[in-house]
Amino acid sequence: MIQDRIKEMGYEVFLGLVAAIIVLAFIYQFIIGNLFLALLSMGIAIFGCYYIFKYITEEEEPLKLMQGEELLLRTLDRGAVLFPRKKGKFFGKKGHRDLSLYLTSERILARSHGEFVLDLPLDSIQNFREEEKLRSKYIRITFLEKGKEKDILLFVGNTNLWMEKLKGLIKPDEEEFSKDVGKVKNLIR
The dihedral sign for the CA sequence 23, 25, 27, 30? negative
Q: Which residues fall within 8 angstroms of residue 36, CB to CB, at 6 or more apart?
A: none
Confidence (pLDDT) at 58: 60
Residue type, 145: E
- Residue 189 is predicted with a pLDDT of 60
pLDDT of residue 156: 86
In this predicted structure, what is the pLDDT of residue 106? 92
> What's the confidence (pLDDT) of residue 184?
59
Q: What is the pLDDT of residue 133?
A: 78
Yes or no: say if 63 and 109 are a contact pair by the CB < 8 Å rule: yes
CA within 13 Å, CB half, 31: 10
pTM above 0.95, yes or no: no
SS3 63: coil
Q: Which residues of the chain have pLDDT under 50?
A: none
pLDDT the model gives residue 93: 65
pLDDT tens digits, one per residue of 99-128: 888 899 999 988 877 788 888 999 899 889
The pLDDT assigned to 100 comes to: 84
